[in-house]
Amino acid sequence: MALQNSFDTSADKWSLGCVLFDLATCTPLFQVKSYYDLIASFHHMVGPIPRDLLQNFERRDQLFEFPQEDPSTVVLRKEVQLKISLKEHMKSCFTKTLTNPNGVQSSGLKSPEFKVFINFLNGLLQLNPADRLSYEEMLNNDFISNYT
């Protein structure tokens, strides 16, 4: 949706991943101040955004470069580059959430449940809708079948 492409129920899967992250960490997954920061966050944290997903994005040339030597490559312009990956951001947010007021970190980050949860989130937070978990895969995922 954010990239101005047609969408279907796979957008709900992305939304579910974002909401679950917010609920688990009390922190928005994408902390941005503008629409363009959001697109740059997608590219850097989850991406890179496949070139074909950018074909309908009206202002793609303001955020991205498209090197001629490799037609599949999309490069985020330097002025909008971010410094943290999705994996690093998730770990940072969960570390803060799992640290008690005395500064002692819970062992939750190393728990099997945490790893299963992160695996589930990663399956939902795929830029290409076709790569997201199917509904059957979601229902059979260890996070759903073992912990709900």
DSSP string across the chain: -TTS----THHHHHHHHHHHHHHHHSS-SS--SSHHHHHHHIIIII-PPPGGGGTT-TTHHHHEE--TT-TT--EE-GGG--S--HHHHHHHHHHHHTB-TTSPBPGGGGSHHHHHHHHHHHHH--SSGGGSPPHHHHHHSHHHHHH-
Domain that holds residue 57: 10-147
* Dihedral-angle region of residue 97 (phi above 0 means left; psi in -120 to 50 means alpha; beta otherwise): alpha
Structural domain tally of the chain?
A: 1
In a domain, 3, yes or no: no
β-bridge partners, 64: 76
Q: How far is CA 129 from the centre of its chain?
A: 12
In a domain, 1, yes or no: no
- Give the angle 136-141-142 at the CA atoms, nearest 5°: 155
- Residue 83: its pLDDT value, please? 59
Average pLDDT of every residue of the chain: 75
pTM of the model: 0.68
- Summarised one tens digit per residue, pLDDT across range 25-78 is 888 888 877 777 777 777 777 767 777 777 777 777 777 777 777 767 776 666
In a domain, 65, yes or no: yes
Which residue type occupies 57? F
pLDDT band per the 50, 70, 90 thresholds, residue 1 = very low
- Residue 4: its pLDDT value, please? 41
pLDDT over 70 (residue 135): yes
Between 11 and 147, the more confident residue is 11
Between 1 and 99, the more confident residue is 99
CATH number at residue 52: 1.10.510.10
- Summarised one tens digit per residue, pLDDT across range 84-95 is 666 676 777 776
- Residue 42: its pLDDT value, please? 74
